[in-house]
Chain A
């Protein structure tokens, strides 16, 4: 019959790193403290330049369509919001808000770890 076996965390699945806290550092930077103890900081201007959405990045070739020089240094977020349990989205002052940044990507491109 049912062979349920409540074991350690879902057998071999490791808990993925999630956001423990998120805060603005200064006019340009914000910090995420992850549940696994890692701390990362992000430059919001760079995040806009690396926007992974389908209009900024070619969905098939993964080439960045958005030219970094077209994003002015003056760009800032309006707000940063969680997307499910795996990503966050940023609404920028230029009105762009379609980029979804998975935590796995953020942990790769952060300024400091």
Chain B
């Protein structure tokens, strides 16, 4: 019967019952991928659908060549296609493209940080040395110099950036990325924007690292000249995650002048050396105090500590920032010193430091202009003979 029908159709050419792609898709949408929990049509597995007369050829492209249900999926597909009225020959070819490798971590970094020209880490060995204040003011000083700047708070346990900059709430972009809110023209991202400023983030290391990884892969940073990352204090999980995920251009190390802070700053410098992140230089905060009664610089702690540690490691000393009560007061109001009072000694220091940082970053760029920022090499089977 079928043979006669087929011959008839071949003579008469296309019949009103000609098979179309929709029919095929409708049939095959009954096949589920057990791992991905979706039907193979929606997953986009169908490739190269060819219909000639009543004959069907198509490919089912799986996510891995080692798929355990490959054979059963093939016979299922053949059976379902066989239900199409007046179908002729059916040929189902199973192929595979490994999915994980087409969207690896690195390309996620590219979607988030692809248009970011420089990433600058602001780190310290110790907490409470003015690292966040430095990160914020460095960001706003660079912005004041006309750069497009982003500011990422990597301190999951003690996020300070939302208080110091007062940004709006983040929004979701249409490509599943988070749009960082702006605060006075600087794009800002912090866990503090999500958890509710008052609540504590109580998570173990891997979760904290996961959050930071999201900030580097799922935030729509867009086009930036500088992304400043405010590191948490110390040399742990999160610091490692950032340096392993994002191509950091260079690091600014912050310290106060006392020996006890300097001991830890050496550890931060050693960490960057291990991760081959160039250290742009050392910033010393709380260097001296100018009271409201006189212009004398009161060196409350030891003087010259930052300079000493810079000299010890052969690093640039980027500058000293005085202790000014207005810096803290304005910070609490969400106004960075360089904006609140640009003539103040602290603001002036930060402006000078930002200039030095920008200059050093250009030098780093020149030195590494031939280097690949990140790479993925997909391995292909090759015959040994071809060399």
Contacts and interface: CB of A to CB of B under 8 A. Distances in A.
The answer to whether A and B come from one shared complex is yes
Contact of A19 (B313, B364, B375): B375
A6 B356 contact: yes
A70 to B, nearest CB: 21
A21 interface: yes
Contacts of B319: 1-4
Contact of B104 (A18, A79, A86): A79
Interface string A51-89: 000000000000000000000000011111111111110
B272 to A, nearest CB: 10
Contacts of B370: 20, 35
Interface string B352-387: 110110011001100110111111111111111011
Contacts of A113: none
Interface in B308-363: 313-320, 345, 348-349, 352-353, 355-356, 359-360, 363
Interface string B211-250: 0000000000000000000000000000000011111101
Contact of A16 (B246, B276, B353): B276
Contacts of B320: 1-2
B383 A4 contact: no
Contacts of A7: 316
Nearest to B371: A18
Nearest to A3: B317
B371 A84 contact: no
A10 B364 contact: yes
Most chain A C-beta atoms within 10 Å of own C-beta, residue among B307, B319, B320, B368? B368
Contacts of A35: 368, 370-371
B19 interface: no
Interface in A20-60: 20-28, 30, 35, 44
A20 B367 CA distance: 12
A76 B313 CA distance: 42
A6 B360 contact: yes
B372 A82 contact: yes
B356 A4 contact: yes
Nearest to B249: A85
Q: Provide the main secondary structure of the chain A interface.
A: loop
B314 A13 contact: yes
B116 to A, nearest CB: 14
B276 A81 contact: no
B279 A76 contact: no
A16 B273 CA distance: 10
Nearest to B353: A2
Interface string B251-287: 0000000000000000000000011111111000000
A30 B376 CA distance: 13
Most chain B C-beta atoms within 10 Å of own C-beta, residue among A20, A28, A44, A83? A83
A81 B105 contact: yes
A108 interface: no
A84 B132 CA distance: 23
A79 B352 contact: no
B182 interface: no
B316 A11 contact: yes
B360 A1 contact: no
Contacts of A19: 371-372, 375
A33 to B, nearest CB: 9
Nearest to B275: A86
Contacts of A5: 316-317, 356
A24 B387 CA distance: 10
27 contacts: A1-B345, A1-B348, A2-B352, A2-B353, A4-B319, A6-B356, A9-B364, A10-B250, A10-B279, A10-B360, A10-B363, A13-B279, A13-B315, A19-B372, A20-B370, A22-B372, A22-B377, A24-B379, A77-B379, A78-B101, A81-B374, A84-B246, A84-B277, A85-B247, A85-B277, A86-B243, A100-B244
Interface of A: 1-13, 15-16, 18-28, 30, 35, 44, 76-88, 100, 103
Given A1-B352, A10-B281, A85-B247, 17 more contacts: A2-B318, A2-B320, A6-B316, A10-B250, A10-B279, A11-B316, A13-B314, A18-B368, A22-B375, A22-B377, A27-B384, A80-B375, A80-B379, A82-B374, A83-B244, A86-B243, A103-B276
